[in-house]
């Protein structure tokens, strides 16, 4: 009886040892794969400029300069006040809405506030909630790799605005399929804005201010 128990104990120890060895081997394999993935991020990046986006940004900045000129020459005080309010509200839509609420889930908000933040973020003209948050989550999870949409290792200009006017790296599109966006897919306000983003943008960011 004691011999049988000793054999059972030995068998259990061998099984545990084999399990630990398999775990270690899997861990080593995963680390090797991580190193391979990191090596791919060091490969030269082909830059493909999206000239239509470049022209859009040029037009936008020239319009802003012209707006400043009008503000000091012919714009009524009420119009200037409205413009400043829109600037503040759109900034809050980005920081309190897109960034803190939807990207990082730093706090919870009931639907009236969520709806207002959605409209405020629309005024900011920074894409709809779903894509903005997907970019930001990928940025945090894969910081400073080719998967990061605004990889700082590609320079200050690229991480500031250049990333918006060039074709994304293939690694980024791969991570778009892997990043968890289930919470936003189940958010009716986010999906509403995503579906009707262009009409909302034209209404609140362009038509309504007129």
- For the residues of 51-96, what is the DSSP string, one character each? HHHHHHHHHHHHHHHHHHHHHHHT--HHHHHHHHHHHHHHHHIIII
Residue 166 pairs with which residues in a beta bridge? 49
Q: Is residue 24 part of a domain?
A: no
Q: Is residue 180 part of a domain?
A: yes
Q: Is residue 73 part of a domain?
A: yes
Q: Is residue 124 part of a domain?
A: yes
C-alpha pair distances (Å), 88 with each of 17, 83, 91, 161: 62, 9, 5, 21
Measured between alpha carbons, how far is 183 from 186 in angstroms, rounded to an integer?
A: 5
The answer on pLDDT for 204 being more than 90 is no
Count structural domains, the chain: 1
Measured between alpha carbons, how far is 136 from 179 in angstroms, rounded to an integer?
A: 11
Please tell me the predicted confidence (pLDDT) of residue 133: 99
Q: Is residue 9 part of a domain?
A: no
Whole-model pTM above 0.85?
no
CA dihedral 173, 41, 133, 158 (to 10 degrees): -110
Q: Is residue 38 part of a domain?
A: no
E strand or H helix at 189: helix 188-195
Q: Is residue 185 part of a domain?
A: yes
Share of the chain above pLDDT 90, in %: 70
Please tell me the predicted confidence (pLDDT) of residue 12: 47
Least confident of 25-39, 53-67, 134-148: 25-39
Reported as half-sphere exposure (CB side, CA atoms, 13 A), residue 116 has a value of 7
Residue-range definition of the domain harbouring residue 177: 48-207
Q: Is residue 164 part of a domain?
A: yes
């Amino acid at each position: 009886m004691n011999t049988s128990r000793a054999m059972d104990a030995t068998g259990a120890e061998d099984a545990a040892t084999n399990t630990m060895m398999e775990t270690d081997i899997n861990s080593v394999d995963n680390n090797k794969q991580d190193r391979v993935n990191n090596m791919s991020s060091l490969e030269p990046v082909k830059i493909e400029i999206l000239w239509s986006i470049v022209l859009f940004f040029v037009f936008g900045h020239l319009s802003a300069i012209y707006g400043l000129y009008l503000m000091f020459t012919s714009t009524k005080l009420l119009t200037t006040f409205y413009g400043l309010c829109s600037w503040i509200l759109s900034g809050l839509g980005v920081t309190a809405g897109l960034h803190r609420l939807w990207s990082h889930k730093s706090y919870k908000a009931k639907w009236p506030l969520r709806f207002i933040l959605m409209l405020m973020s629309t005024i900011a003209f920074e894409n709809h909630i779903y894509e903005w948050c997907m970019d930001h989550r990928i940025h945090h999870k894969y910081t400073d790799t080719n998967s990061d949409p605004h990889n700082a290792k590609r320079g200050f200009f690229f991480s500031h605005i250049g990333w918006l006017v060039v074709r994304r790296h293939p690694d980024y599109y791969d991570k778009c399929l892997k990043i968890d966006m289930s919470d936003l897919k189940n958010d009716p306000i986010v999906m509403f804005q995503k579906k009707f983003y262009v009409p909302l943008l034209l209404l609140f960011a362009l038509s309504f201010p007129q």
